[in-house]
Chain A
Amino acid sequence: MKKVLIVDDSMYMRTLIKTALTATERYEIIGQAGTGSQGIEMALEFEPDLITMDNILPDMIGIDIVKELRAEGISAKIIMVSAVGQDDVVAEGKANGAQDYLVKPFTAEQLVERVDNLFI
Chain B
Amino acid sequence: MMKDLTLKEIEVAKKIISAGLVKSAESLSFFMNETITLKDFDAEKNIDNPPLELGKKDESNIHLLTTKVIGEMNGICCLIFSEEEADHLRKAALPQEILDSPEMMEEMSDGIMLEVDNIISASVITQFSNLLKVKIHGGVPNLKKVTSNEMEEFISGEVNKELYLISFKTSFESSKVQFNPEFVWLFDNTFIESIKNYAALEA
Binding site for B on A (CB under 8 A): 9-13, 15, 19, 55-58, 82-89, 103-105
**Which residues of the partner chain B approach A85 to less than 8 Å between Cβ atoms?**
122-123, 126
Pairwise interchain contact A83-B135, C-beta atoms closer than 8 A: no
Contacts A10-B114, A12-B111; is A104 near B140 (CB within 8 Å)? no
- How distant is the Cα of A83 from the Cα of B137 in the complex, in angstroms? 10
Name 6 extra pairs, CB < 8 A, besides A84-B125, A85-B122, A86-B137.
Answer: A13-B115, A83-B119, A83-B121, A83-B138, A85-B123, A104-B118
Partner of B118, one of A58, A83, A88: A83
**Which residues of the partner chain B approach A88 to less than 8 Å between Cβ atoms?**
135
**Which of B31, B118, B123, B126 counts the most chain A CB atoms within 10 A?**
B118
22 contacts between A and B (CB under 8 A): A9-B140, A10-B111, A12-B108, A12-B111, A12-B115, A55-B137, A83-B122, A83-B123, A84-B122, A84-B125, A84-B137, A84-B138, A85-B122, A86-B125, A86-B129, A86-B130, A86-B137, A88-B135, A89-B137, A104-B118, A104-B122, A105-B30
Instruction: Report B36 CB to chain A, min CB distance, Å.
Output: 13
Pairwise interchain contact B139-A10, C-beta atoms closer than 8 A: no
Q: In the complex, which residue of chain B has the Cβ closest to the Cβ of A104?
A: B119
- Flag whether B107 is at the interface (Cβ < 8 A): yes
- Flag whether B54 is at the interface (Cβ < 8 A): no
Q: In the complex, which residue of chain A has the Cβ closest to the Cβ of B30?
A: A105
The binding surface of chain B is classed by DSSP as helix
- Flag whether B92 is at the interface (Cβ < 8 A): no
- How distant is the Cα of A85 from the Cα of B119 in the complex, in angstroms? 10
Q: In the complex, which residue of chain B has the Cβ closest to the Cβ of A15?
A: B108
Instruction: Report A80 CB to chain B, min CB distance, Å.
Output: 13
In residues 47-83 of chain B, which contact A (Cβ within 8 Å)? Answer: none
**Which residues of the partner chain A approach B125 to less than 8 Å between Cβ atoms?**
84, 86
- How distant is the Cα of A54 from the Cα of B108 in the complex, in angstroms? 18
- How distant is the Cα of A15 from the Cα of B109 in the complex, in angstroms? 13
Q: In the complex, which residue of chain B has the Cβ closest to the Cβ of A106?
A: B30
Pairwise interchain contact B119-A105, C-beta atoms closer than 8 A: yes
**Which residues of the partner chain A approach B137 to less than 8 Å between Cβ atoms?**
55-56, 84, 86, 89
Partner of B108, one of A11, A55, A82, A89: A11
Q: In the complex, which residue of chain A has the Cβ closest to the Cβ of B137?
A: A84
Contacts A10-B111, A83-B122; is A56 near B30 (CB within 8 Å)? no
Partner of B139, one of A11, A19, A56: A56
Contacts A58-B140, A105-B31; is A87 near B108 (CB within 8 Å)? no
